Amino acid sequence: MTKQTTHSRVALVTGGSGGIGREVVKRLVADNFAVAVHYASNKEKAETLVADIIVAGGQALVVGGDVADEKVMAQVFDEVEVAFGGIDVVINTAGMMLLSTIVDLNLDDLDRMFRTNIRGTFVVAQQAARRVRSGGAIINFSTSVTRTQFPTYGGYVASKAAVESMTMILARELRGKDITVNTVAPGPTATPLFLNGKDEATINNLSKATPLERLGQPEDIAETVAFLAGPARWVNGQVIFTNGGLA
């Protein structure tokens, strides 16, 4: 970790060690952010990413812990503030997706998803609402399946619909603080979370589902996040469907 030596904006990215979160971190560093890279279980990946950023001259910090544990996350926010002097942007990419038809979904799996996706987002958003500086942004993550209603996504979509509603309310509760709150809802994106358990035929069908006829890439999603984290000061209380035109 390097101490902040410029007046960079500061971001905390939960789930920042892999998939979409990793590309979000890399994009924000390219935009001159100092970034705290959060991990839940894969500390080694987070440390490698941060080491690469520092070698390249960027500013980064590894933080870890259960996003659904309010005491742990309060300590994470403390660490970021001590290291970088404050927090401007908080991005909730941490999430869990377990697919099953509603009739067959194991309720323990439902509870696990709800703990990470709903409670975890709530805990992080609560800390962010208390600590993000004026001019900052809180960015949550949902899924385009809240609109497409694909079978087997019932439990996951239920958790993400809650995130969307939470976002709308928090944006209004932060009136007067000059903090935007939005949700990014990706379409099919080529990440391990999405690809796991899908056969080639399913992946090909999803690739053809958008007018652009391809899967999204993590970089596509990071582009939207960078917009919301930086210049998009008039976008607030919105769900941004970053999905290549998926109906």
- 37: CATH: 3.40.50.720
Active site residue 156: yes
3 pLDDT band, cuts 50/70/90, is: very low
Residue 1 belongs to a domain: no
Whether residue 15 contacts residue 94, with contact meaning beta carbons closer than 8 Å, is answered with yes
**For 49, phi and psi rounded to 5 degrees?**
-60, -45
How many CA within 13 A on the CB side of residue 135?
A: 6
pLDDT computed for residue 129 by the predictor: 98
Beta-carbon contacts of 150 under 8 Å, excluding residues fewer than 6 positions away, are: none
Q: Is residue 37 part of a domain?
A: yes
Instruction: Classify residue 220: in a domain, yes or no.
Output: yes
pLDDT of residue 167 exceeding 80: yes
Residue 75 lies in a domain: yes
pLDDT at 77 over 50: yes
Q: What is the mean pLDDT of residues 161-167?
A: 98
Query: 3-state DSSP: the chain helix, strand, coil percent, rounded to 5?
Result: 45, 20, 35
Given a cut of 70, whether residue 230 has pLDDT beyond it is yes
5 belongs to a structural domain? no
Structural domain that includes position 115? 10-242
Does any domain span residue 222?
yes
- pLDDT tens for 63-76 read 999 999 999 999 99
Q: Choose the catalytic residue: 141, 156, 194, 241.
A: 156
Q: What is the per-residue pLDDT across 195-205, written as a single tens digit (0 to 9) for each?
A: 777 778 888 88
Percent of the chain whose pLDDT exceeds 90: 82
The rounded distance, in Å, linking the Cα atoms of 144 and 103 is 22
Asked whether residue 166 is assigned to any structural domain, the reply reads: yes
State the pLDDT at residue 4: 45
Number of domains in the chain: 1
Counting Cβ atoms within 10 Å, is residue 1 exposed (0-12), middle (13-18) or buried (19+)? Answer: middle
How high is the pLDDT of residue 5?
Answer: 45
Under DSSP, is residue 202 helix (H, G, I), strand (E, B) or coil? helix
pLDDT tens-digit series, residues 86-136: 999 999 999 999 999 999 999 999 999 999 999 999 999 999 999 999 999
Distance between CA atoms of residues 60 and 11, nearest Å: 9
Tens-place pLDDT, residues 133-159: 999 999 999 999 999 999 999 999 999
Contact 91, 24 (CB under 8 A): yes
pLDDT in tens, 16-62: 998 999 999 999 999 999 999 999 989 999 999 999 999 999 999 99
Of residues 73 and 209, more confidently modeled:
73
For residues 97 and 146, the answer to whether their CB atoms sit within 8 Å is: no
One-character DSSP codes across 93-148: ---------TTT--HHHHHHHIIIIIIIHHHHHHHHHHHEEEEEEEEEE--THHHH
Q: Report the pLDDT value the prediction gives residue 198, as an integer from 0 to 100.
A: 75
Which three-class secondary structure state does DSSP give residue 240? Answer: strand
Asked if residue 2 belongs to a domain, the reply is no
